[in-house]
Amino acid sequence: MSKSTFYLLDSSAIISISHINSGATNLTDDMKDRQQKLLSIDKKGNFISGMLAVMEGQASQEETPEQKKATVTKIGNTLDTFFKNAETDANALQATSENLSQLSLGTHERSYTDAAKFRDTVFFDLVQLPKKKDIAAFEDKLIRIARENDLQPSHPIVLCAISALYGKDETRNVLKVSKEKDKGNSYNALSDVYAVSRIPMLSNLIYSEFPNYDIEFITFDKGLEFFYESLVPTSVIEINRRDRSDVAITVSVSRDLFPGITDKHFNVLAKKIHGG
């Protein structure tokens, strides 16, 4: 007998469901594929959660408590309308909307401000790809800037930036690197990056309550999907502090993040990342 599955949906999945719920006609082929994927998980015994999307938010900037409550309501209604067979956390989200309204990047992840500063500082170094002979020097520069901002080289945003140096389209998209040289708002980029730690953290909580469920992450953001699958968490620790909490995550890194890297250089880079 196959196990039931607990699905964590991000904002791209929620937005897709909302579009489908609207009754829009002439769906694109991509949207039809998304619809089929979502319908395929609407099975009795499965559980669909919008919690990850709540943490991410539905706006392109930090939400106020009132905006967050509106987001919780919207996500709950979206899930409740679409899924007819699988159980969802729509009611639970609504019941805890007051507490969830205080949940944001800035209050949950302690390193958010440091990561935002890092991304803004290195952004223009990433717009123009360095020459192959200069990549090692740029890696060292990014690692130095990371440490100046109290970030370890193994922090997901640092790994994403180093990958972007190698011209990996998916990670450049995650960081919202623009050829127009517009830094834009860091919020969307950081929301994607922090999914790498949020998913294992939520998975730990889910396993403690639902040990018989498999857990799957669903996103229609190809860049985020690639980045998440390229970082395999080996440990996740939630650190509770007086005013907020943070997550310490250790990952093993796929060399797919660094196209064209040699074995020798990858070994050197791995030592840089892990402090060797």
The answer to whether 219 and 37 have CB atoms below 8 angstroms apart is no
Model confidence pLDDT, tens digit, residues 29-73: 999 999 999 999 999 999 999 999 988 876 666 777 788 888 889
Q: What is the pTM of this model?
A: 0.85
The answer to whether 120 and 161 have CB atoms below 8 angstroms apart is no
How far apart are the C-alpha atoms of 211 and 202, rounded to whole Å? Answer: 13
- Lowest-confidence segment of 67-76, 101-110, 198-207, 208-217 by average pLDDT: 101-110
Average pLDDT over residues 235-241: 53
How far apart are the C-alpha atoms of 76 and 221, rounded to whole Å? Answer: 21
Angstrom CA distances, 178 to 95, 184, 185, 214, 257, stand at 40, 9, 12, 37, 19
260 Cβ contact partners less than 8 Å away, ≥ 6 residues apart: 132, 166
Model confidence pLDDT, tens digit, residues 88-136: 998 888 777 666 655 554 444 567 888 889 999 999 899 889 999 999 9
Structure letter (DSSP) for residue 186: H
